[in-house]
Amino acid sequence: MKHKKLFVLLGIQHRQIDLNTLLGLFFPRMQRLAQEQNEEIEKVNHEKNYHQQTTAYELNALSQEWRQLCVKNMEIQSVCAVLETKIDSLKKEAFERRMKFCYCLFALQAQN
């Protein structure tokens, strides 16, 4: 019974068939299926390699962009530090001027 299903699958009408004939009929089909499978594997591998290369280029571009942004960020931090120092200096100068003004005002009031 097992062979009957195989015969029907292969399109064989005769029940009396030797093993070599059966293998002769079956082998080309298996070769074709193996070839199709190998072609599919090649296609998948080619697509995988393409995507890996594309991803590598994208990753490299993003890495370069990241480095540029880090450099820019350090430059901004440096400018901010200079500006903060300048602001502190101006605050100190303004405080000193207020103190001088108050002292002068106090001195004028003391004279009157």
Residues of the chain with pLDDT under 70: 1-17, 112
The pLDDT assigned to 16 comes to 55
Tokens representing 2 are 């097992």
Q: Which residue carries 């393409």 as its tokens?
A: 50
The pLDDT assigned to 110 comes to 80
pTM: 0.53
Tokens representing 87 are 């602001």
- In sequence order, what DSSP letters do the residues of 29-64 get, joined into one string? HHHHHHHHHHHHHHHHHHHHHHHHHHHHHHHHHHHH
